[in-house]
Amino acid sequence: MGLFSNRKTVFVDSDILVVGGGMAGCGATYESRYWGRDLKVVCVEKANIERSGAVAQGLYAINCYMGMQWDENQPEDHVRYARNDLMGLVREDLGYDIARHVDSSVHQFEEWGLPIMKDPETGRYLREGKWQIMIHGESYKPIVAEAARKAASEVYNRIMVTHLLMDEAKPNRVAGAVGFNVRTGDFYVFRAKAVIVCAGGASHIYKPRAVGEGMGRTWYAPWSSASAYALPILVGAKMTQRENRITLTRFKDGYGPVGAYFLHLKTYTENAYGEEYESKWYDHTKELVGDYIDRQPVPTCLRNHAFLEETKAGRGPIRMVTKEAFQDPHKEQVGWENFLGMTIGQAIVWASQNIDPKHVNPELTTSEPYVMGSHATCSGAWASGPSDYAPSDYQWGYNRMMTVDGLFGAGDTIGGTAHKFSSGSYTEGRIAAKAAVNYVNDMENDKFQVSEKQYQDLKKTIFQPLENYQVGRNEIVAGTVSPSYILPLSGLQRLEKIMDEYCGGISANYITNEPMLTRGLELLDMLKEDLEHLAAEDLHQLQRAWELQHRVLASESVTHHTMFRTETRWPGYYYRADHPKLDDTDWHCFTLSQYDQESGEWTMEKAPVYHIVD
Ligand SMILES: Cc1cc2nc3c(=O)[nH]c(=O)nc-3n(C[C@H](O)[C@H](O)[C@H](O)COP(=O)(O)OP(=O)(O)OC[C@H]3O[C@@H](n4cnc5c(N)ncnc54)[C@H](O)[C@@H]3O)c2cc1C
Residue 1 pLDDT > 70, yes or no? no
Nearest to 558 by CA among 587, 531, 520: 520
Res 294 pLDDT > 90:
yes
Ligand 1 proximity of 221 Cβ (cutoff 6 Å): yes
The predicted model gives 452-458 an average pLDDT of: 98
Residue 23: which H helix or E strand, with range? helix 23-35
**Residues 413-451 pLDDT 10s:** 999 999 999 999 999 999 999 999 999 999 998 889 999
- Residue whose CB lies within 8 A of the most ligand 1 atoms, among 157, 417, 422, 462, for a mutation test: 422
Residue 352 has pLDDT above 70, yes or no: yes
The 3-class SS string of 316-366 reads: CCCEEECCCHHHCHHHHHHHHHHHHCCCHHHHHHHHHCCCCCCCCCCEEEE
Give burial (CB, 10 Å; 0-12/13-18/19+) of 68. middle
pLDDT at 153 over 80: yes
* Residue 137 Cβ contacting ligand 1 at under 6 Å: no
- What pLDDT shows up at residue 2? 60
CB 16 within 8 A of CB 437: yes
CA distance 515 to 501: 12
Cβ of 361 below 6 Å from ligand 1: no
End-to-end alpha-carbon separation of the chain, Å?
Answer: 60
257 vs 248: CA distance, rounded Å? 9
- pLDDT at res. 307: 97
Higher pLDDT among residues 214 and 390, named by residue: 390
Residues 233-238 have a mean pLDDT of: 98
Of 223, 328, 219, 202, nearest to 265 (Cα)? 328
| Pocket flag, ligand 1, residue 425 (CB < 6 Å) | yes
Mean pLDDT (the chain, rounded): 96
Is-contact 573 244, C-beta < 8 A? yes
Q: Indicate which atom in ligand 1 lies nearest the CA of residue 219.
A: 1
Dump pLDDT digits (tens) for 160-169. Answer: 999 999 999 9
The arithmetic mean of pLDDT across residues 125-134, rounded, is: 95
Atom index in ligand 1 nearest the CA of residue 412 equals 26
What separation in Å is there between the alpha carbon of 232 and the centre of ligand 1? 18
Q: What percent of the chain has pLDDT over 70?
A: 99
**In 81-181, which ranges are E strands?**
133-137, 154-156, 159-166, 174-181
Instruction: Please give the pLDDT value at position 4.
Output: 63
Q: Compute the distance from residue 366 Cα to the ligand 1 centre, in Å.
A: 21
H/E stretch holding 78 reads helix 75-85
Taking 90 as the threshold, does the pLDDT of residue 215 lie above it? no
CA–CA separation, 554 and 539 (whole Å): 23
Cβ atoms of 162 and 179 closer than 8 Å? yes
Q: What is the 3-state secondary structure (H, E, C) of 532-568?
A: CCECCCCHHHHHHHHHHHHHHHHHHHHHHHHHHCCCC
Give the C-alpha separation, 485 to 304, whole Å.
41
Q: What pLDDT sits at residue 3?
A: 64
- Say how far apart CA 262 and CA 29 lie, in whole Å: 35
Residue type, position 562, single letter: T
The answer to whether the beta carbons of residues 301 and 573 sit under 8 Å apart is yes
Compute the distance from residue 218 Cα to the ligand 1 centre, in Å. Answer: 13
Which residue's alpha carbon is nearest to atom 31 within ligand 1? 22
349 in contact with ligand 1, CB cutoff 6 A: no
The reported pLDDT for the residue numbered 455 is 98
Q: Are 26 and 147 in contact (CB under 8 A)?
A: yes
Number of Cβ atoms within 10 Å of the Cβ of 589 = 15
Angle at 613 between CA 612 and CA 614, to 5 degrees: 115
| pLDDT at 217 (0 to 100) | 85
Taking residues 17-43, what's their average pLDDT?
98
For residue 26, pLDDT over 70 is answered with yes
Quick one: pLDDT at residue 341?
Answer: 78
User: For position 260, what pLDDT does the model report?
Assistant: 86
Output the pTM of the full model: 0.97
CA 204 to mean position of chain CA atoms? 12
Distance between CA atoms of residues 562 and 335, nearest Å: 37
Per-residue pLDDT tens digits for 467-523: 999 999 999 888 888 899 999 999 999 999 999 999 999 999 999 999 999 999 999
For ligand 1, is residue 374 a contact (CB within 6 Å)? yes
Residue 98 near residue 303, CB atoms below 8 Å: no
Ligand 1 atom nearest the C-alpha of 224 is 37
Say if ligand 1 is within 6 A of residue 21 CB: yes
Q: What residues pair up with 163 in beta bridges, in sequence order? A: 178
* Residue located nearest, by CA, to atom 2 of ligand 1: 220
The closest of 507, 596, 498 to 548, measured between CA atoms, is 498
Measured CA distances, 473 to 468, 482, 508, 544 (Å): 8, 7, 36, 18
Q: Decide whether any atom of ligand 1 lies within 6 Å of the 375 Cβ.
A: yes
Helix, strand or coil, per DSSP, at residue 499: helix
Confidence (pLDDT) at 141 = 97
3-state class of 377 per DSSP? Answer: coil
DSSP 8-state secondary structure symbol assigned to residue 405: B
Instruction: Quote the CA–CA distance of 560 and 577 in Å, as a whole number.
Output: 16
Residue range 566-584, pLDDT digits in tens = 999 999 999 999 999 999 9
Cα dihedral value 272, 277, 278, 282, nearest 10: -140
Decide: 412 in ligand 1 pocket, CB within 6 A: yes
Q: Return the pLDDT at 548.
A: 98
Q: Does residue 216 surpass a pLDDT of 90?
A: no
Give residue 484 CA to ligand 1 midpoint distance, Å. 36
- pLDDT (0 to 100) of residue 477: 83
Q: Quick count: other Cβ atoms within 10 Å of Cβ 535?
A: 25
Determine the distance separating the centroid of ligand 1 and the alpha carbon of 154, expressed in angstroms.
21
Query: Rounded CA gap, 222 and 205, in Å?
Result: 10
C-alpha to C-alpha distances, 347 to 226, 255, 337, nearest whole angstrom: 28, 10, 9
Q: Rounded to whole angstroms, how far apart are CA atoms 572 and 247? A: 7
Gap between the Cα atoms of 403 and 173, Å rounded = 9
What pLDDT, on the 0 to 100 scale, is given for residue 520? 98
Is the C-beta atom of 24 inside 6 A of ligand 1?
A: yes
What is the rounded CA–CA span in Å between residue 531 and residue 200?
Answer: 23
Query: 535 CB under 6 A from ligand 1?
Result: no
Query: Cα–Cα distance between 408 and 414 in angstroms, integer?
Result: 9
- What pLDDT does 479 receive? 83
Measuring CA to CA, which residue among 189, 177, 253 is closest to residue 217? 253
Mutate to test the pocket of ligand 1, among 425, 428, 431 (most ligand atoms within 8 A of CB): 425
More confident residue, 213 or 54: 54
Amino acid found at 126: L
pLDDT in tens, 176-200: 999 999 999 999 999 999 999 999 9
